[in-house]
Amino acid sequence: MIALVACAGPPPPPTDSPPSPSATFPAVHPTTFPTALPTPTEGPRTFTIGLASAPGTLDPANAVDQAALLITRHLYEGLTAYEPGATRPIPALAEAWEASADGLIWTFHLRPNVRFSDGAPLTAQAAARNFDRWLSREPSGAYTFWRLMFGGFAGEADEDGAPLSLVAKVETPDDRTLVLALNRPEASLPSTLAMPSFALVNPAAFADGNFGAPTANSAGAGPFSLYSWTSENIIHLVRNPNYWGVPPQPDELVFKVIPDDTQRLLALQVGEIEGVSHLNPKDYAADGQHDTRVEFDPPLNVLYLGFNQAHAPWNILDCRLAVAYALDKGRYVQAFFPGDAQAALAMQPPSVWGYAAPPADRSRDLARAAEHWEACRAAVEFFPKSATLYVPPIPRSYLPDPAGLGLAIQNDISTTLGLDVLVAAPDWQTAWLPDVHAGRADLFLLGWTGVNGDPDSFLCPLFCGAEGAFNSDELGQPLPPDAELAQLLLSARAVTDPAEREALYAQAHARIFDLVPAIPLAHRQTAWAFRANVNGNVPSPIENVFLRLTLEP
Amino acid sequence: MTTVALPSTAEAVQAIVAPLSPGELAWRRFRKHRMAMAGLVTLVLLSLYVSLGGPLLSQGYCTPIGRTVRGEAWANCNDTSLKLQPPSAQHVFGTDVIGRDIFARTIYGGQISLLIGGAAALMAVIVGTLAGVVAAYYGGWVDSLLMRFTEAMLNIPTLFLLIVTAKFFGGRLPSVNFFGRELTGSVLVIILIIGGTSWMYLARLVRANVLSLREMDYVLAAQALGVSNTRIIFAHLLPNTLAPIIVSTTLGVANAILSEAYVSFLGLGVQPPTASWGNMLESSYKYLETAPWLWFFPGTLVLLTVLSVNFVGDGLRDAFDPHSSRHL
């Protein structure tokens, strides 16, 4: 899995977790399903959601902005979906799947009698046409998320001639079976396929070159279908009559673009819209006033302080431990976040499966810091005079006040350990990221968003040795901070049994806790505000779906 | 009745007749310069503030450490839950962006700023005077070499030179202990950089002065008597060119304090947590309107210091100037 370190890149993609009336479940995926669902009552109920910006396209494969991902989530569905409020993959258009022992052959059994919103039936061939489209980039497009999650496109190879694309071949043995042959094992495939970017579309729709534009046919298999997308950027969705699952509660969903933060909040306060995203932190204070309520989605990111073990003395465990005991997460979270973050204990948020609570919370403990620092000084012959701490020069989604936090960390390390810390905050794109990735920092303050909700997407991009931020050899080639940890994480990619994977990630977390390649600091949440009489929002770390919204009388 | 003790005739005569030494003359002229005296008094008060303020006034209960701390530890105690507090009884100058006491930081920052001002000016004086006097006295290729180098240095914009050298040398020097206070290497770097980039005008000034002095008869006499060059330079030439040196030194102190503020404001100077008035201003930049106490106190102290030093420099110039229009 390739990912851009901390490029706060794509916002957590919204996907949904459709309630499944079908009783067919894959044996390997025991999942809890909502059993009793309220049946929709009569009268059209419309919910209007305020957006900060207009979607760039409604083509799910080419949607990159948060608005587009949110809307396409409601129009389309993929082979898998996310469990409501969590990130485990559950069956959606595929009612079951299994992987071969080596993790290279994945067989998806499609749900019978599913139709797209335009009436065309979902067949394995139609699904395969979607994969062909992503692989071949035809019709042309950026296919950003495919490149990010699947490595590349058909025919592309790296310097050694190994194909870049994760998917080698797509086969359809029969109408209801789709077989994906992979170039390398990737156990998080079902999670990735639940991302809204990999939702299935009726091939007839994307054959039309206009697909994704306001006037085009939506033709998805999601709970809603596109009714209109006006020039004022009001996007109107109505229930999809052909939807295979439990019909959504709202009859209609309207997405309204109000770019100005204040206007958008005002629209919520007067009841013109029922919910807004991208809430300005200063507006959290208005929580509870004007009949509104703020809800936080569980976090899908981690802010951490990383150590570059290629630079002395950070290769010594005691030195890293001393810093861990010198920092005061609890206070940082209070002081440098507008009340929307929690102190992090591990390198992934607890809201993502695979989380294993560490045996202890390492927070400020001056006696221990001093003790480890003494051991650290004793272990290093030529102790460096100072350490360079890279602090992002601009706010990131997981770090609203980098300068303040950088100063506090510098102050805490300097005063507790007596080590000079130089803060570096050069230009983000041209200097900061290249420097940190090339291993020029000693310490760095950075965050990570795990796009597909799989623990692998948090741990492996950081600790499998893809970037030189944590460690590198004499020639500057990236190394993992710990070879055994990298081995563990890579082997977890080849294990397809979720329970077995979970055990491996528990081991990985324990090893990360022991070795401290990085100190987890905080997880930041996303805030939504709703009218007080709107119920049924399911806060989820990875997606926002409004299938269960109801109005209190 | 009181008896008035009259001075003896001899004393009285001596008091009237004995001529004032140049130093006494200068001091008399200086005393008459009101702004200079005000500047001197302010400087003395500021020195007391930064030297005695630390041990006497800098202490408080540091919550993150869990005990009462004194001195610099208090200036570096960051209780982030108290960040950006306006001035109050607890924190008379308020707190900064990570909850440190600004009052304590102005004291310890002042030590650094004044130290940098003094040390950098001293360094500039030594380098500038030596370059000037050696160039002028020896003349010939020595003069050409030194003066071309001086001009080359002058041709590079000082601010640019400061920034580049600060970036290049930042963090490369070890900490030093100065009067029992541990100073980060960045302080030393800044002193060297500011001293190393501000000696050129003085060198030219001294050279011009010495060029005329070395033609004086007493220098010729000394040479004829076989006095060594070193002795001629230090015993005859330098004392006679002391006036411009002293004046330029005082002004150099003010400039050095300002340069430190520039460089630290750009984040290249003294590295936190060591405070300096300049780097305190830097972190206040984002809060110009919302938290004015962040810049008001260090800014005012820089202003006061630089103003006072300039007044004192003015006073000294008038005092040492034999052609001064001010009469006794």
Do residue A270 and residue A310 come from a single domain? no
Q: Are residues A231 and A321 in the same domain?
A: no
Pairing of strands A105-110, A94-99: antiparallel
In the structure encoding, which two tokens stand for residue A255, read together?
């997405």
Average pLDDT, chain A: 86
**Residue in A364, A386, A409 to test binding to B, most B beta-carbons within 10 Å:** A386
Please write the tens of the pLDDT for every residue from A245-268: 999 999 999 999 998 888 888 899
Rounded average pLDDT over B94-119: 90
Q: Is the pLDDT at A223 greater than 60, yes or no? A: yes
Residue A111 has pLDDT above 80, yes or no: yes
Count of residues making up chain A? 553
Q: Within 13 A of B267's CA, how many CA atoms are on the CB side?
A: 14
Q: Which two tokens stand for residue A513?
A: 């806790």
pLDDT at residue A170 in the model: 95
Within-domain flag for A10? no
Rounded CA-CA distance A252/B120 in Å is: 73
Q: Is the pLDDT of residue B123 over 90?
A: yes
Name the band, by pLDDT with cuts 50, 70 and 90, for residue A96: very high
| Least confident span in A88-102, A170-184, B179-193, B280-294 | B179-193
Mutate to test the interface with B, among A388, A410, A420, A440 (most CBs of B within 10 A): A420
Q: Give the range among A108-117, A210-219, A296-305, A435-444 with minimum mean pLDDT.
A: A210-219
B228-to-A470, B143, B207, B236 alpha-carbon distances in Å: 63, 19, 19, 11
Question: B267: which chain A residues are within 8 Å (Cβ-Cβ)?
Answer: 423, 425
A12-16, A182-186, A534-538, B222-226 — which is least confidently predicted? A12-16
Half-sphere exposure of B95 (CA within 13 A, CB side): 21
**DSSP letter string, B192-249:** HHHHHTS-HHHHHHHHHHHHHHTTSHHHHHHHHTT--HHHIIIIIIHHHTHHHHHHHH
Query: Could A422 and B173 be called an inter-chain contact, meaning their C-beta atoms sit closer than 8 Å?
Result: no
C-alpha to C-alpha distance for A394 and A429, rounded to whole angstroms: 10
Task: Assess contact for A19 and A37: CB atoms under 8 A.
Answer: yes
* Closest to B259 in 3D by CA, of B197, B204, B308: B197
- Order of all β-strands in the sheet with A386-390: A341-343, A518-524, A301-307, A443-449, A386-390, A420-424
> Which strands form A234-239's sheet, in the order they lie side by side?
A224-229, A234-239, A252-257, A46-51, A275-276, A526-531, A292-297
> Nearest CA of chain B to the CA of A414: how many Å?
7
Bigger pLDDT: A48 or B320?
A48
Q: Over the stretch B38-56, which tens digit does the pLDDT of each residue have? A: 999 999 999 999 888 888 8
CATH number at residue A262: 3.40.190.10
> Range with the lowest mean pLDDT among A479-483, B234-238, B281-285?
B281-285
3-state secondary structure of B62: strand
Is residue A83 within 8 A of residue A31, CB to CB? The reply is yes
How far is the C-alpha of A144 from the C-alpha of A165, rounded, in Å? 13
How large a percentage of chain B has pLDDT more than 70? 90
- Residue A37 has a pLDDT of 46
pLDDT in tens, A362-382: 888 999 999 999 999 999 888
Structure tokens of B182?
Answer: 């541990």
Q: What is the mean pLDDT of chain B?
A: 84
Q: What is the mean pLDDT of residues A406-434?
A: 89
Q: What is the ipTM of this complex?
A: 0.72
Interface test with B, best of A415, A423, A435 (most B CBs within 10 A): A415
Quick check: B109 and A361 in contact, CB under 8 A? no
The CA distances from residue A340 to A7, A345, B82, B258, in Å, are: 20, 16, 19, 41
A26 has a pLDDT exceeding 50: no
Q: Which residues contact A441 (CB under 8 A, 6 or more apart)?
A: A306, A308, A388, A389, A390, A424, A435, A469
Confidence band for A10, pLDDT divided at 50, 70 and 90: very low
Work out the average pLDDT over A230-258: 91
CB contact under 8 A, B283 and A364: no
Give percent above pLDDT 70 in chain A. 91
Query: Same domain for A281 and A372?
Result: no
- pLDDT over threshold 90, residue A48: yes
* DSSP labels, A501-534: HHHHHHHHHHHHHHH-SEEEEEEEPEEEEEETTE
Q: Is the pLDDT of residue A305 over 90?
A: yes
Torsion angles phi and psi, residue A237, rounded to 5:
-115, 145
Topology annotation, domain B109-307: MetI-like fold (1.10.3720)
Do A297 and A526 form a contact (C-beta atoms < 8 A)? Answer: yes
Of the listed ranges A72-76, A96-100, A275-279, the least confidently predicted one is A275-279
How many CA atoms within 13 Å lie on the side-chain side of A191?
Answer: 25
Lowest mean pLDDT among A207-221, A430-444, B207-221, B249-263: A207-221
Token pair 């150099």 is at which residue? B252
pLDDT at residue B324 in the model: 58
Claim to verify: residue A42 and residue A183 sit in the same structural domain: yes
> In this model, does residue A209 exceed pLDDT 90?
no
CB B116 within 8 A of CB B194: yes
**Do A377 and A482 belong together in one domain?**
yes
Domain extent at residue A209: 31-295+528-551
Judged on CB neighbours under 10 Å (0-12, 13-18, 19+), A174 is: exposed
**Do both A486 and A546 map to the same domain?**
no
Closest chain B CA to residue A401 = B97
Residue A5 vs residue B233, higher pLDDT = B233
Q: What is the pLDDT of residue A25?
A: 37
B residues 59..78 contacting A (CB < 8 A): 64-65, 73, 76-78
Q: Do A415 and B73 touch (CB under 8 A)?
A: yes
Mean pLDDT for A345-349 is 94
Q: Could you tell me if A541 and A453 lie in one domain?
A: no
pLDDT at A487: 93
Domain membership of residue A174 (yes or no) is yes
Cα torsion A339, A343, A348, A354: sign? negative
Cβ B273–A415 below 8 Å, yes or no?
A: yes
- At residue A107, what are phi and psi to the nearest 5 degrees? -110, 125
Query: In this predicted structure, which of A269-278, A286-295, A301-310, A452-461 has the lowest mean pLDDT?
Result: A286-295
Q: What was the pLDDT predicted at A219?
A: 85
Test B272 with A412 for CB contact under 8 angstroms: no
Does some domain include residue A133?
yes
Judge contact between A328 and A412, C-beta under 8 A. Answer: yes
pLDDT score for B173: 65
Can you give the pLDDT at residue A424?
87
Please say if the pLDDT value at position B193 is more than 90. Answer: no
CB atoms under 10 Å from CB of B256, counted, come to 29
- pLDDT number for residue B287: 86
Q: What is d(CA A522, CA B131) in angstroms, rounded to the nearest whole number?
A: 57
Whether A45 has a pLDDT exceeding 60, the answer reads: yes
C-alpha to C-alpha distances, B23 to A488, B285, B320, B326, nearest whole angstrom = 81, 45, 9, 16
The three-state secondary structure class of A452 is: coil
Mean pLDDT check: name the lowest of A121-130, A242-251, A477-486, B250-259.
B250-259
> CB–CB of A91/A83 below 8 Å?
no
Report pLDDT digits (tens) over B272-286.
788 888 888 887 878
- pLDDT tens digits, one per residue of B7-41: 566 666 566 666 777 778 888 888 888 999 999 99
Contact of A102 with A494, CB cutoff 8 Å: yes
- Cβ neighbors of A453 (< 8 A, separation 6 or more) are A82, A86, A87, A88, A191, A194, A300, A352, A353, A541, A542
A342 and A427 both lie in a single domain: yes
Instruction: Say how far residue B218 (Cα) sits from the centre of its chain.
Output: 34
Phi, psi torsion values for A115, nearest 5 degrees: -120, 145
Chain B, 261-280: which have a CB under 8 Å from a chain A CB?
267, 271-273
Query: Least CB-CB distance to A366: which of B65, B184, B273?
Result: B65
Cα gap A325→B145, rounded to integer Å: 56
Q: Look at chain A and report how many structural domains it folds into.
A: 2
Q: How many CB atoms lie within 10 A of CB B183?
A: 19
Q: How confident is the model at residue A236 (pLDDT cuts 50, 70, 90)?
A: very high
Spatial distance between the Cα atoms of A492 and A505, rounded to a whole number of angstroms? 8
CA-CA-CA-CA dihedral for B86, B91, B93, B97, to nearest 10 = -60
Q: What is the full DSSP assignment across A256-324?
A: EE--SHHHHHHHHHTTS-SEESS--GGGGGGTTGGGEEEEEEPP-EEEEEEE-TTSTTTTSHHHHHHHH
pLDDT band at B204 (very low <50, low <70, confident <90, very high): very high
φ/ψ of residue B270, rounded to 5: -65, 130
Contacts of A425 in chain B (CB under 8 A): 267
pLDDT of B266 strictly over 70: yes
Provide the pLDDT confidence category of residue A43 given band limits of 50, 70 and 90: low
